[in-house]
Structure 1
Amino acid sequence: MPFNDYVKYLTQQITAYMDTPAKEKKDQKAKDKEKPPVYSNRWLGILPFAFKVAKKKTN
């Protein structure tokens, strides 16, 4: 991804975030906190994720 495209994407994401109302941002954060984390990541850390990624790369 060229640097200009990356800057353009970042700018779009930032402006979209800034344009959303504060209430909507607060609701989204509350909704994300309600969702429990993946069991394997919560109890075992990032190791299960690392193994999954390594397994996918070998296939």
Structure 2
Amino acid sequence: MGKKTKGKLPKTECCVSKSQCGRCPLRMLKEGTLPEGYTVKKRKLVRVDGTKVTKKKLAKAA
């Protein structure tokens, strides 16, 4: 089985659907639920310090 996380992990890119899902990085940024050290630029999830976003690091941050 997979690991349990504290909350939902954001997607790495916004899918631009009309009915946005709860994992949309834009929505999570607006609500303030995006993990520390992450932001959104051009609808893509990026790290503030400029390193590459990986699912492993994202799961660790969340």
Q: Same fold by TM (over 0.5)? A: no
Q: Flag the structure with larger Rg.
A: 1
Q: When the two structures are superposed, what TM-score results if normalisation uses the length of structure 1?
A: 0.19
Structure with the bigger percentage of strand: 2
Q: When the two structures are superposed, what TM-score results if normalisation uses the length of structure 2?
A: 0.18
- Structure showing greater relative contact order (alpha-carbon pairs closer than 8 Å, 6 or more residues apart): 2
Structure with the bigger percentage of helix: 1
